[in-house]
Amino acid sequence: MVWFLRKKWTLLSLLLLVPAGLATKQYHGPIRFWVNNSLGGVFYVIFWSLLLSLVAPRLRVLQNVVVVFTATCAIELLQLWHPPVLEIFRHTIPGALLFGTTFTWSDVPHYATGALLALVFLHALSRLERNVGS
């Protein structure tokens, strides 16, 4: 129970972040192309950084963000590889959301932005959650 109380803000953040990230794929307003194809990358890195902070709580915030940013860039590069089994998975909604479908160098700055925001957000959450119960 103490773990849940100390991590409630991270869990709440994840619960809010998932629909926000998915909404970027359904957005139809101004700057639609950018929101649909790039903004989700920012949310993607923040989501995985938050999740990693839950499953590897001893990992320092900077290490967490570097691991997620590196993995995200590796997944982006993986989109240049098209083995049949990976293509089948990419044609599913979970596969497209997790592994993407098309390699684009312009996604990397959005991942970097997500990493910087995750760094700030995780530090703030860490301070907030450390103060729970004090």
pLDDT in tens, 74-96: 999 999 999 999 899 999 989 98
Distances (CA, A) of 24 to 62, 118, 126: 27, 18, 27
Q: State the pLDDT at residue 39.
A: 95
Are residues 100 and 79 in contact, defined by beta-carbon separation less than 8 angstroms?
yes
pLDDT in tens, 2-14: 555 568 889 999 9
Q: What is the 3-state secondary structure (H, E, C) of 14-26?
A: HHHHHHHHHHHCC
> What backbone phi and psi angles, to 5 degrees, belong to 62?
-60, -40
Amino acid in the structure at residue 104: T
Q: Quote the pTM value.
A: 0.88
Distances (CA, A) of 94 to 15, 39, 129: 17, 18, 31
Cα end-to-end span (Å), the chain = 16
Q: State the pLDDT at residue 97.
A: 83
Q: What is the DSSP string of 13-80?
A: HHHHHHHHHHHHTT--STTHHHIIIIIHHHHHHHHHHHHHHHH-TTS-HHHHHHHHHHHHHHHHHHTT
Tokens matching residue 98: 């997790």
